[in-house]
Structure 1
Amino acid sequence: MNELTEAGKLYCANCTTPLEGEFCHHCGQSVHSVLKPVHHMLEDGMDMFLHVDGRILHTLPPLLAKPGFLTLEYFAGRRQRYVAPFRVMFVLCLMAFFAAHLAVGERPMVFGDDAVQVDVDAFKQARTPAEVDQALQRELAHLQPVRNLPAVGKMAASDIQEAERKLRKAAAKRRAELGDTSIVLLGPATAGTSGANRPGAAHRPDDPIKLLAQKPVQIRWLPDFINQRLTRAAKRLSDNLDALDSGGERAADAQERLISQLFSALPQTMLLLLPLFALLLKVVYLFRRRLYMEHLIVALHSHAFLFLSLLLVVVLTALKGWLQPHAAWLAQGLGWVRLALLVWMPVYLLLMQKRVYRQGWPMTIFKYLLVGYCYSFLLGMVLAAGFVWTLAH
């Protein structure tokens, strides 16, 4: 008669707990040894990569196309097949800002490609040289709002000068078409230049930043080391603004350095906004009796979607610009896809808020607008603070 022999019991090498599987249920240590041949290590690494990749494939499509799905799955306890909310948000945040930084290029624009718009066709309707000069005055006046913005006008100075050059060239061409050979157009002084391009603007005696940098900061209720750091920050802020105002290679180097520092500070800025956004949701939905952690998960998935959308918008914009000279019809199609994605972003957030918190449409829309307004204000404040912090370093 055959007899069954019981196999020997295995014990955890770390805590000596009897094992019931490949992992110790007491301390979590694996039964497999780390001392193994190299080809086994490669196999384990490939398995881990494929496992993570599988979770990404289960996470990104619903994150982009199914508002609130991942959040509700997480609340229901079905979490293993998806990437954790903080991890997916953080990775997409880094990728989105990295792609945006690359898209900005060596000649960054603060407002984007359409920041400094000029209408070179404004002179076609002019019938006399005087009308050409009047049209030039009007177009140059349109550049003033950008030029007068603090710090931003300095960073966009090269773009403003390029726009002004195009306007003067178009005006000169129209005057030549009208038969006027005495091309005496308005110079920078009579065109109303001010701010970053006015001589000595950065050295005005009443400049508050200059006055702050000339003497040490002394706030009585702050420790001395903080006052010293504030003094150094004010000095660096003044130096950076002077570099941006100087023009030439020095201004280009300062602009590139500041843009790089700004993009490196944006991920930390967004991490600061996450708990504030979750707290805002907690206040708005105070009577829904949800934990703060639940609102934080909503905030993580919302921001992960926004960063994924931003990444796709940057990629579509780059592809559109690359394809425009070669396949204009395909570039136009990518433009429509980008527009659809931009429209989908606010709609997605509204549907997500409706599905997660399960309130009627009137109350959902009201709270959606309230949260959006408050969050936009917080975002503007934090980004402004981050911009000033970048100038001070």
Structure 2
Amino acid sequence: MNELKPSPALLCANCETALQGEFCHECGQSIHSVLKPVSHMLEDAGDIFFHMDERIVHTVPPLYTKPGFLTLEYFAGRRVRYIAPFRLMFVFCLISFFFMHLAVNAVKFGNGEGGNSDTFGQMAKATTADEVHEIYRSEVRSMLTTQADPNTPGVVKTSLTAVQGMLRDAANRRLSELKAPPIAEPGSGGEDDIKLKHANVLNSEDLQFKVAWLPTAVNARLNEGLDRLKLNFVQASNPGPQQKEAIHRMFEGVFGVLPQTMFIMVPVFALMLKLFYVFRRRLYVEHLIVALHSHAFLFLSLMLLTLLGFARNALAPHLGFVGGVISLVEFAVWIWMPVYLLIMQKRVYRQGWGMTILKYWLIGSVYFWLLLFALTIAIVIGISH
């Protein structure tokens, strides 16, 4: 008679412990292999960062329509149905700034298109003397900005001086064909004698970091950022091909640091809640959850406002009444934002309306100035990009 033999147990690949489920109870390693097709890897990445499953259905509607509901659910231990507070805030922060970035990129900066490399061809095709002077001034101002940059090599500055002479000669030839007076030599004081706005800022020795107690490398890094800030400032102040590029570069830098700034402000806001509600005997982590849900709601609202703005700009020229309806919805969203935060504060901390409104006003005022200070620092860092 054949003996019954137990089937071999599945062992953990890491510690060789017999497995009793999808995870090893000794070391915690999953039985699922990381070696899988790319399609499965993309699904896992989407799940890790966005958790695009049924939890988003249970999370987003109450986040926007039920002030304090998610926070109270989290405090009560009912968490598995909802997206975690930090992940929720993180995703909506990135998405909202992404759409706002698109909205800012749709705005036209600078004077005209600019940046056309065929300057001499443009000069030859100019039909009026004013057009020739405009092309000449635009290009010379761009060259002067490059020459004023202390980081520009000397050989490049010398070559740009020669190019300016060639450009002036080409302009004078076209002006002669148009029977117009020529452009005077630089320094003669004529209307084409171009001076850069704020050019002295680039070479100012007073605007340098020389903090004795800071390491030399830190001072050098700060001065490097300051030099970029001064160059961007001068280029953005002077019309020409480099103006649009400088403004675009500064906006890119600002949007690059705004998410990090908000990640810093969330725990600061939680600390303020801790101080204002110190007698409620709540842990700092509880206040942090309130802050995360509050900011997630604000970022979701900003995202909705940006999308509504896109829709209004697209539909209003063709369907005027639709543009009016969207404007009313935008107004309602703006009103709902402070009302939501007030109701949320009342439901979570369970104080009377008088004390809640007082603390709401105090917390909002302090946080507004702290946020304004943080955003100012972020903008300064961003425009030095």
Q: Same fold (TM over 0.5)?
A: yes
- Return the offset for 1:233: 2.5
Contact 1:353 1:364 in 2 (8 A): yes
Partner of 2:98: 98
2:198 aligned to which of 181, 202, 207: 202
1:373 aligned to which of 365, 373, 377: 365
For residues 52-103 of structure 1, the C-alpha deviation after alignment (integer angstroms, 9 at most, x for no partner) is 3211111111111111111111111111121111111111111101100101
Unaligned runs of 5+ in 1: 110-198
Partner of 2:28: 28
- 1:1-393 matches, within 5 Å, as 11-33=11-33, 41=40, 52-107=52-107, 201-203=197-199, 212-213=204-205, 216-393=208-385
Contact 1:212 1:234 in 2 (8 A): no
- Return the offset for 1:24: 2.8
- Return the offset for 1:224: 1.5
Contact 1:213 1:234 in 2 (8 A): no
Q: Separation in 1 of the partners of 2:98 and 2:31?
A: 40
Q: Separation in 1 of the partners of 2:38 and 2:90?
A: 32
Contact 1:108 1:259 in 2 (8 A): no
Secondary structure at 1:247 match in 2: coil
Contact 2:254 2:378 in 1 (8 A): yes
- Return the offset for 1:45: 5.7
TM-score by length of 1: 0.68
How large is the Cα RMSD of the aligned pairs?
3.1
Secondary structure at 2:317 match in 1: coil
Q: Separation in 1 of the partners of 2:42 and 2:335?
A: 44
- Return the offset for 1:23: 2.6
Contact 2:256 2:382 in 1 (8 A): no
Contact 2:228 2:384 in 1 (8 A): yes
TM-score by length of 2: 0.69
Contact 1:213 1:238 in 2 (8 A): no
Distance 1:341 1:280, change over 3 A: same
For residues 219-261 of structure 1, the C-alpha deviation after alignment (integer angstroms, 9 at most, x for no partner) is 2222222222222232222211111111122111111111111
Aligned residue identity for 1:97 = F
- Return the offset for 1:272: 1.2
- Return the offset for 1:32: 4.5
Q: Separation in 2 of the partners of 1:373 and 1:367?
A: 10
- Return the offset for 1:12: 3.7
Q: Which moved more, 1:242-251 or 1:364-373?
A: 242-251
- Return the offset for 1:344: 0.3
Aligned residue identity for 1:362 = G
Contact 1:63 1:305 in 2 (8 A): yes
Q: How many residues align?
A: 297
Q: Separation in 2 of the partners of 1:248 and 1:278?
A: 46
Unaligned runs of 5+ in 2: 110-194
Contact 1:59 1:82 in 2 (8 A): yes
Contact 1:216 1:228 in 2 (8 A): no
- Return the offset for 1:107: 2.8
- Percent of aligned pairs with the same amino acid: 50
